[in-house]
Amino acid sequence: MNMAIVNNIYYCEIANVGDQLNRWLWHRVYPSMDWLGDRLFLGVGTLLNNRVPLGIGKVVLGAGCGYRPSPDIHRDHWTIAAVRGPLTAQQLGLDPDHAVSDAAILTADHFPTHSIPKQHKRSVIFQHHSYTYWDWTDFLESQGIHVIDPAWDVERVLHDIAASETVAAEAMHGAILADTLRVPWVPFKMYPQVYDFKWHDWAASLNLTYRPIEFNPLFRDTIGHPYQALNRLHRIPGTGSIRNHFRRRAQKQLQNAFLEGLRNAPSVLSQDAVFVDRLGTMRDRADQLSRPSCRAAA
What is the total residue count of the chain?
Answer: 298
- How far is it, in rounded angstroms, from Cα 43 to Cα 9? 8
Q: Give residue 7's region: left, alpha or beta (phi > 0; psi -120 to 50).
A: left
Q: What is the pLDDT of residues 177-186, one digit of tens each?
A: 999 999 999 9
- How far is it, in rounded angstroms, from Cα 242 to Cα 291? 69
* Dihedral, 106, 89, 176, 63 alpha carbons, nearest 10: 60
* Domain positions in the chain: 3-108+276-297, 115-267
| pLDDT over 60 (residue 238) | no
Q: Give residue 207's region: left, alpha or beta (phi > 0; psi -120 to 50).
A: left
| pLDDT over 70 (residue 235) | no
Partner residues linked to 169 by β-bridges: 125, 187
Mean pLDDT (whole number) for 28-50: 96
CATH topology of domain 115-267: Rossmann fold (3.40.50)
| pLDDT over 60 (residue 240) | no
Selection from 160, 151, 152 nearest residue 122 by Cα: 160
pLDDT score recorded for residue 206: 99
Q: What is the pLDDT of residues 186-226, one digit of tens each?
A: 999 998 888 999 999 999 999 999 999 999 988 865 444 44
Q: What is the pLDDT of residues 109-154, one digit of tens each?
A: 999 999 999 999 999 999 999 988 888 999 999 999 999 999 999 9
Which residues, 6 or more positions from 241, have their beta carbon under 8 angstroms from its beta carbon?
A: none
User: 270 and 184 in contact (C-beta within 8 Å)?
Assistant: no
Nearest-5° angle of CA 25, CA 27, CA 33? 130
